[in-house]
Amino acid sequence: MHNETIKVLLYRFNGECIKGEFFLFEESPRNQDMVLLQLQFDEQNLSSQNENFFNALLDIRTDLELMNIQIACYGAAKNVYPTTMQLSMGDGRKAYKHTLGHPA
């Protein structure tokens, strides 16, 4: 059973908006040391099992970009990244918006 559901908007490169949902699993059914992130949209399912949610999101973003789709969320922005501590000790669920030359 998933731990959290997050609604998200996706955009095709032609401007079409698609509604989707992320399902977050703090323990993947296949490997309890990993998290599982699933995205459902337009009767399609993408998933990634990874060490943390941020890296799982990166995997799904890569798959979506091959389909000419982008995610409209902070986690997909160029200047958003979790701290090293969040990645090593947490599940990578939180991230910070960084500005070059300014502390996070």
The answer as to whether 19 is a domain residue is yes
In a domain, 83, yes or no: no
Number of H helices, E strands in the chain: 2, 7
Separation CA 66–CA 73 (nearest Å) = 18
Q: pLDDT for 22-77, tens place per residue?
A: 999 999 989 998 999 999 999 999 999 999 898 899 999 999 999 999 998 767 77
How many structural domains compose the chain?
1
Q: Is there a domain that residue 93 lies in? A: no
Residue 52: give the domain boundaries: 4-74
**Cβ pair 86, 94 in contact under 8 A:** yes
In a domain, 80, yes or no: no
The verdict on residue 104 lying in a domain is no
Q: Tell me the whole-structure pTM to 2 decimals.
A: 0.81
* 64 in a structural domain: yes
